[in-house]
Amino acid sequence: MKAEQIFSVVNIIAILGWLLIAILPRWKYTRHLVLSGAVPLLLSVAYLVLIVLFFGKAEGGFGSLADVMKLFTNEWAVLAGWIHYLAFDLFVGSWEVRDSQRSGISHVLVIPCLFLTFMLGPIGFLLYAAIKLFMPRKGGEDDLETV
């Protein structure tokens, strides 16, 4: 399979996961496929396969910014990096949904967080943490412990 084909497949999988947690967060299939961590784990397996097959075959490394830039001139390294983002961002988005459900935060407030987590990762997580910080606490729990 070519890198471009894998890129298309993992993007479709990730987008379907994001749509499920944004539109149908309480649906049993969303819970089984995405909120359980199954889809992020599937993406993680794809990442692992690429790392095993191609790690060390690209120039560069992680020792300096210049080395990282060299690393990302190899299409397989870029694809692995992209899947890394897809898996972790979807994991964080899934956590936001699960945590908001446990905390009683309206899903309407979580949707912008999901969009930003999908597009800009840490900024979406930061927005969710800010919303949670200012939401009334349930039962006196320290809500920041779960962030």
- pLDDT tens-digit readout, 60-114: 888 999 999 998 899 999 999 999 999 999 999 999 999 999 999 999 999 999 9
- pLDDT tens-digit readout, 67-81: 999 988 999 999 999
State the Cα–Cα distance between residues 96 and 114, nearest whole angstrom.
8
Structure tokens at 132: 């949670």
| Cβ burial, residue 58 (10 Å; 0-12/13-18/19+) | middle
Model confidence at 144, in pLDDT bands (50, 70, 90)?
very low
Asked whether the predicted pLDDT for residue 139 surpasses 60, the reply is no
Under 8 Å between Cβ of 145 and 128: no
Q: Return the percent helix, strand and coil in the chain, to nearest 5.
A: 75, 0, 25
